[in-house]
């Protein structure tokens, strides 16, 4: 078999592709039915309407502990004219749930009865007919409809079904979904020794994510063996997954659906059936492929994790719900304001993952990394903003709708931190969750100046900042006075931290200071403009008379200290300026440059709110300080101290 590079001849819009899926795979009226015991039916979809066989209760039952009476015999009783009843004739003892004696139609609670002697009772209030009695059929009447066809059984339903005499139910068979991972680079976690993971090898995770999504839809996943990048093997694996003996109703290939020379899903589907869609104008998820083979749906899921999730939710989930005769349930939405402009590309519908938090009377959204390979951009997200294909993005002050991935209550209990990155923020977030489980911290890294501008626009609760005043040698105060005049804010010291040059273990280039960055044999990785680290670097370069243009990699930017450290660890740079804790975390060497001050800027409007009180209390706790000191390169001697701004 020969294979040429695939070409997206005509990508479809999301709406066009979904309409095609619905028209081809939107109804399965003759879906197989099976019968299961009622207690095992939770999550299953009823294939038929269910009618009660028994009434519940099946008899008149006492609803209280007391005396069963004939209501008419109690009429006229009062505190001034009590009435006496004969035990065994006018009143019969009953307990909750007991069958009511024949001819008795009310219960008087035991607390309301005074026993005069062994056979005589006295009451001071009348009973009304059927007082404290559960009449036959009060809950369920035999032959009544308990649940309609296509109802999804919940744990609550089990009680109603059993009470109504239904001990087994007909349900739609769970769809079986074959998942075929493809890629010569993939290794299964079952067989992996982490210490022996080779460069180029990738732990296969997409198949397990997709399997969990399949289960969430009420279907059964079947993860097939991983297939290497060989066109014959991919075709054979797809054919085997859909063979009659597998009983699978749909097949998902994972990876290999794009337009590369080693992407073999399209020719495999072409050989076994028909390609209906190859390429959709969405991001992430563009390379998705939709087709048929052996008369069954096939979806080529892209290999990047976020693309895989988006593709599943947009195309596979609707098919599985249709097989189960369940409607699609859109996610709840909320109106949000971005913390900064979110740009987008015309002609592509983009799914932007965002962190959310309520700041004042509005919910603000901070975009997470946009890459389709960043699985954490979904795991950390509170919601998704969908930018239509006719838009170039969203302005910073524009209000837009976001689909919620987490409950709105979680968003409202989130402390929004914007600004400079520091590893202690992760410890702070975790310590708050230990002590106050309902409060979370959402930290977005825009650099110190970005944090100040977020405070100015009123879109955060806290800004992390370490801006060096190159004239005085002080930190942050002069910038706050300059950029936030008239805005009431408080400045709390968090840590002193060692900032320096992060280099590979053993420092092979023998880098000893900032002056070495100008060497022709040194590749540098920089921080983004507006970050305190960048300001420090440019200040030191000016002191040394080094032209930034002479530094290899000066224009290459990262947004966190850990990203700088990873670039050095991975060999894409020989050195980067960052904090000691980042170097230590990845077992890299560190050349000290300066000990700097890292503070938290808090608008006065939020300073005394409960979440911010919790944050301030956590900062000064011994537990938090111990964890910070353990990172290395930090001092907490002044942690929690308020810095005077006047």
Over the stretch 400-417, which tens digit does the pLDDT of each residue have? Answer: 999 999 999 889 889 999
In which band, very low, low, confident or very high, does the pLDDT at 477 lie, cut at 50, 70 and 90? Answer: very high
Is the model's pLDDT at 1 over the cut of 50? no
Q: What is the pLDDT of residues 455-470, one digit of tens each?
A: 999 999 999 999 999 8
Q: How many residues does the chain have?
A: 646
Question: Mean pLDDT throughout 215-227?
Answer: 96
Question: Mean pLDDT throughout 261-269?
Answer: 82
Alpha carbon separation from 339 to 318, 489, 523 (Å, rounded): 33, 18, 33
The dihedral through the CA atoms of 269, 271, 277, 282 has a sign that is positive
Q: What is the pLDDT of residues 572-601, one digit of tens each?
A: 999 999 999 999 999 999 999 999 999 999
Q: How far apart are the first and last CA of the chain?
A: 77
The 10 Å Cβ neighbour count of residue 474 is 14
Alpha helix positions (H), 385-518: 408-412, 424-435, 448-457, 477-483
Q: State whether residue 182 is helix, strand or coil.
A: strand
Peptide bond into 57 cis (omega under 30): yes
* Cross-strand bridge partners of residue 69: 91, 106
- % pLDDT > 70, the chain: 98
Token code pair at residue 136: 């036959």
Query: Which own/partner contact pairs does 268-273 have at CB distance under 8 Å and 24+ positions apart?
Result: 268/231, 268/234, 268/235, 268/238, 268/293, 269/238, 269/293, 269/298, 269/300, 271/235, 272/235, 272/238, 272/239, 272/242, 272/298, 273/298
Q: For residue 203, what pLDDT is reported?
A: 87
Domains of the chain from N-terminus onward: 14-28+175-323 (3.40.980.10), 33-56+138-172 (3.90.105.10), 61-134 (2.170.190.11), 333-412 (2.40.340.10), 453-643 (3.40.190.10)
Is the model's pLDDT at 365 over the cut of 90? yes
The 10 Å Cβ neighbour count of residue 610 is 11
Q: If you search the block for the tokens 């022709």, which residue do you land on?
A: 520
In which band, very low, low, confident or very high, does the pLDDT at 260 lie, cut at 50, 70 and 90? Answer: low
Q: For residue 262, what pLDDT is reported?
A: 61
Question: Mean pLDDT throughout 337-348?
Answer: 91
- % pLDDT > 90, the chain: 84
Q: If you search the block for the tokens 């599985």, which residue do you land on?
A: 320
Helix axes 424-435, 610-619, angle to 10 degrees: 110
In which band, very low, low, confident or very high, does the pLDDT at 256 lie, cut at 50, 70 and 90? Answer: confident
Average pLDDT, the chain: 93
Q: For residue 259, what pLDDT is reported?
A: 61
Q: For residue 7, what pLDDT is reported?
A: 54
- What residues have CB less than 8 Å from 457, skipping those under 6 apart? 339, 396, 397
Task: Give the integer Cα–Cα distance in Å for 93 and 99.
Answer: 11
Alpha carbon separation from 603 to 125, 414, 453 (Å, rounded): 64, 16, 12
Ranges 91-95, 311-315, 367-371, 525-529: which has the least confidence: 367-371
Instruction: List b or e across 223-253, with b for residues whose CB sees 16 or more CB atoms inside 10 angstroms.
Output: bbebbebbbeebbebbbbbbeeeeebbbbbb
Q: State whether residue 107 is helix, strand or coil.
A: strand
pTM of the entire predicted model: 0.84
In which band, very low, low, confident or very high, does the pLDDT at 261 lie, cut at 50, 70 and 90? Answer: low
Question: Who has greater pLDDT, 189 or 601?
Answer: 601
Task: Give the integer Cα–Cα distance in Å for 489 and 481.
Answer: 10
Token code pair at residue 405: 């991935």
Task: Give the integer Cα–Cα distance in Å for 259 and 275.
Answer: 14
- Which run of H or E residues covers position 74? none
Question: Who has greater pLDDT, 371 or 111?
Answer: 111
Burial (CB < 10 A; 0-12, 13-18, 19+), residue 137, is middle
Ranges 15-29, 449-463, 503-517: which has the least confidence: 15-29
Q: What is the pLDDT of residues 38-59, one digit of tens each?
A: 999 999 999 999 999 999 999 9
Task: Give the integer Cα–Cα distance in Å for 104 and 201.
Answer: 79
């Amino acid at each position: 078999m020969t294979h040429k590079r695939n070409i997206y001849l005509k990508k479809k819009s999301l709406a066009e592709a979904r309409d095609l899926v619905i028209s081809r795979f939107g109804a399965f009226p003759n879906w197989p039915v099976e019968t299961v015991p009622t207690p095992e039916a939770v999550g299953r979809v009823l294939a038929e309407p269910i009618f009660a066989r028994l009434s519940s209760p099946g008899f008149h039952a006492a609803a209280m502990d007391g005396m069963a009476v004939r209501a008419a015999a109690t009429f006229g009783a009062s505190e001034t004219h009590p009435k006496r009843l004969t035990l065994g004739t006018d009143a019969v003892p009953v307990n909750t749930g007991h069958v009511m004696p024949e001819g008795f139609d009310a219960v008087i609670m035991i607390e309301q009865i005074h026993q005069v002697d062994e056979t005589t009772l006295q009451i001071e209030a009348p009973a009304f007919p059927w007082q404290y009695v559960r009449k036959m059929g009060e809950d369920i009447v035999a032959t009544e409809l308990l649940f309609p066809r296509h109802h999804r059984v919940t744990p609550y339903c089990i009680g109603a079904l059993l009470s109504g005499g239904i001990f087994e139910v007909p349900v739609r068979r769970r769809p079986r979904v074959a998942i075929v991972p493809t890629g010569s680079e993939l290794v299964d976690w079952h067989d992996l020794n982490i210490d022996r993971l080779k460069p180029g090898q990738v732990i296969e995770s997409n198949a397990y994510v997709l399997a969990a999504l399949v289960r969430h839809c009420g279907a059964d996943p079947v993860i097939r063996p991983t297939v290497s990048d060989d066109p014959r093997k991919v075709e054979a694996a797809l054919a085997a997954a859909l063979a009659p003996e597998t009983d699978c109703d749909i097949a998902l290939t994972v990876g290999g659906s794009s337009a590369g020379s080693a992407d073999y899903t399209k020719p495999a589907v072409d050989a076994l059936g028909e390609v209906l869609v190859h390429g959709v104008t969405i991001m992430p998820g563009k390379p998705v492929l939709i087709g048929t083979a052996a008369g069954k749906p096939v979806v080529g899921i892209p290999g990047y994790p976020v693309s895989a999730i988006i593709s599943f939710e947009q195309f596979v989930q609707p098919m599985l719900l249709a097989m189960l005769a369940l409607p699609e349930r859109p996610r709840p939405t909320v109106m949000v304001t971005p913390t900064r402009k979110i740009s987008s590309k015309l002609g592509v519908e983009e799914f932007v993952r965002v962190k959310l938090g309520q700041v004042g009377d509005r919910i603000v959204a901070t975009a997470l990394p946009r890459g389709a390979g960043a699985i954490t951009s979904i795991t950390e997200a509170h919601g998704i903003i969908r930018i239509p294909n006719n838009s170039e993005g969203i302005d910073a002050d524009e209000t837009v709708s976001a689909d919620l991935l987490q409950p709105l209550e979680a968003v409202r209990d989130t402390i929004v931190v914007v600004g400079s990155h520091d590893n202690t923020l992760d410890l702070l977030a975790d310590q708050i969750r230990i002590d106050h489980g309902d409060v979370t911290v959402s930290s977005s890294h825009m650099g110190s100046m970005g944090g100040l501008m977020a405070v100015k626009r009123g879109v955060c609760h806290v800004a992390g900042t370490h801006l060096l005043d190159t004239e005085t040698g002080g930190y942050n105060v002069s910038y706050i006075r300059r950029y936030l005049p008239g805005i009431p804010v408080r400045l709390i010291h968090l840590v002193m931290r060692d900032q320096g040059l992060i280099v590979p273990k053993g420092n092979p280039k023998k880098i000893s200071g900032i002056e070495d960055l100008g060497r022709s044999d040194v590749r540098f990785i920089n921080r983004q403009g507006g970050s305190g680290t960048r300001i420090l670097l440019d200040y030191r370069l000016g002191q040394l008379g080094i032209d930034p243009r002479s530094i290899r990699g000066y224009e290459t930017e990262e947004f966190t200290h850990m990203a700088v450290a990873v670039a050095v660890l991975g060999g894409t740079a020989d050195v980067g300026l960052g904090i000691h804790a980042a170097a230590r975390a990845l077992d890299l060497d560190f050349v000290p440059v300066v000990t700097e001050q890292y503070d938290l800027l808090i608008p006065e409007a939020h300073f005394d709110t409960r979440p911010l009180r919790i944050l301030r209390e956590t900062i000064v706790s011994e537990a938090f300080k111990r964890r910070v000191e353990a990172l290395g390169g930090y001092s907490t001697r002044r942690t929690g101290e308020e810095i005077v701004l006047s």
